[in-house]
Amino acid sequence: MAKIIIDEPILLTGTSNPQLAEAIGKLVGVPVSYPVTVFADKEIRVRVQPNMRQRTVFILQTTSNPGNDRIMELIFMADAARRGSASEIIAIIPYFGYSRQDRKEMPRVPISSSVVVTMLANAGIDRIITVDIHSQQQQGFTQKPWDNLFGSYVIIPVIKERNLSDLVIASPDKGGILQATAYAKFLDAKEIAVVYKKRDITLNDVSNALAMIGDVKGRDVLIVDDIISTGGTIVNAAKHLKKNGAKSVRVTATHGIFAEDALEQIDNSGIDEVIITDSIAPSEKISSHPKITIVSVAPLLAEAIRRIRTGESISSLIF
Ligand code: R5P
């Protein structure tokens, strides 16, 4: 007899980004379940209320700082779904923690991102959905299907509202050139600038912008990056762009971590505006910051869920 799949999906979320889960739940018409609590000794406890038997279970969990607990919540929710006989377990991970540790860049270091992916696959996750994963090759860390969506789907319309006619797209390092090129295409920008960034791999979070190529004199510049952590990369890049005559400097990055004194650094920089998404739940300080605009990825993720349920292609969300 053919396997019977009941089309009543379940949407679970951990503690990382309940606002985003609610926004997605509303858009797809599925109530959000919150199965995570903690014991007195701070161990994570997961108990899912709805019946998951033969249902597709979507688990929304961003794994940003403190990433380790969030990863454990995700693994425990997936294990509960597997033991509860879910037909398919789909992890939606808008920001994938550890994704910058995606290669062995010096001797005697782990490939931490690969370790995390292996743990997720072992917990029973059948499919992964991310937004702007730091490097796309990470999809090869598992044999499971992995759809990486692009934040540009929701960011580009907001940039277009700024009516920047003589726009230059800037990549703050050589690794970001492909993403910058895609933004240039969508925004009809004729020029791309690249800042040359040097990172000392023996130190954590230390980088320097040393030079740049491209003509930005008298023009509006949009720096495109995937992550803002300490803010060092974008602040240093903005310094170079301003020194070379940029009229205005905006930044867009999908994931706003804002570690340490990143907000203060941005305050004191020549950056006019920073556009991020809510892939990581923004604190009150971030959402009320005068230079920061937050665009929700809820419509993008809801559309991906809808297409997965109907069996439609999601490649038009990707390309
Ligand atoms: C690096 O390769 C990334 O794309 C980002 O540019 C980087 O992670 C940003 O980090 P930070 O804000 O600490 O400079």
Q: Which atom of ligand 1 is nearest to the CA of 232?
A: 14
Both structure tokens of 175: 């690794």
C-alpha separations of 238 from 39, 204, 211, 248, 254 in Å: 46, 21, 12, 9, 17
Q: Which atom of ligand 1 is nearest to the CA of 236?
A: 14
Give residue 200 CA to ligand 1 midpoint distance, Å: 13
Give residue 233 CA to ligand 1 midpoint distance, Å: 6
d(CA 19, CA 83): 27
Specify the pLDDT at position 34: 98
197 is catalytic: yes
Is the CB of residue 226 below 6 angstroms from any atom belonging to ligand 1?
A: yes
> Which of 103, 171, 224, 233 to probe ligand 1 with, by most ligand atoms within 8 A of CB?
233
d(CA 90, CA 154): 22
Specify the pLDDT at position 130: 98
CB 56 within 8 A of CB 274: no
Shortest CA distance to 101 belongs to which of 67, 145, 59? 67
Q: What is the pLDDT of residues 56-66, one digit of tens each?
A: 999 999 999 77
**Set 3, 197, 243, 285: catalytic member:** 197
* Owner of token pair 């270091």: 109
Is the CB of residue 232 below 6 angstroms from any atom belonging to ligand 1?
A: yes
Specify the pLDDT at position 269: 96
CB 235 within 8 A of CB 242: no
pLDDT tens, position by position, for the chain (319 residues)?
A: 666 666 799 999 999 999 999 999 999 999 999 999 999 999 999 999 999 999 999 999 999 977 999 999 999 999 999 999 999 999 999 999 999 999 999 999 999 999 999 999 999 999 999 999 999 999 999 999 999 999 999 999 999 999 998 999 999 998 899 999 999 999 999 899 999 887 777 777 777 767 889 999 999 999 999 999 999 999 999 999 999 999 999 999 999 999 999 999 999 999 999 999 999 999 999 999 999 999 999 999 999 999 999 999 988 776 5
**HEC assignment per residue over 219-277:** CEEEEEEEEECCCHHHHHHHHHHHHCCCCEEEEEEEEECCCCCHHHHHHCCCCCEEEEE
Residue nearest atom 5 of ligand 1, based on CA coordinates: 227
Specify the pLDDT at position 102: 96
> What is the enclosing helix (H) or strand (E) of 290?
none
CB 91 within 8 A of CB 128: yes
Fill in the amino acid letter for 219: R
Residue nearest atom 10 of ligand 1, based on CA coordinates: 229
CB 313 within 8 A of CB 307: yes
Specify the pLDDT at position 208: 75
Nearest-Å Rg of the Cα atoms of the chain is 20
d(CA 266, CA 277): 17
> Which of 226, 230, 261 to probe ligand 1 with, by most ligand atoms within 8 A of CB?
226
3-class SS of residue 44? strand
C-alpha separations of 51 from 22, 105, 147, 171, 303 in Å: 20, 45, 27, 47, 24
Q: Which residues contact 173 (CB under 8 A, 6 or more apart)?
A: 194, 195, 196, 197, 207, 233
d(CA 122, CA 315): 27
Give residue 211 CA to ligand 1 midpoint distance, Å: 17
Specify the pLDDT at position 199: 73
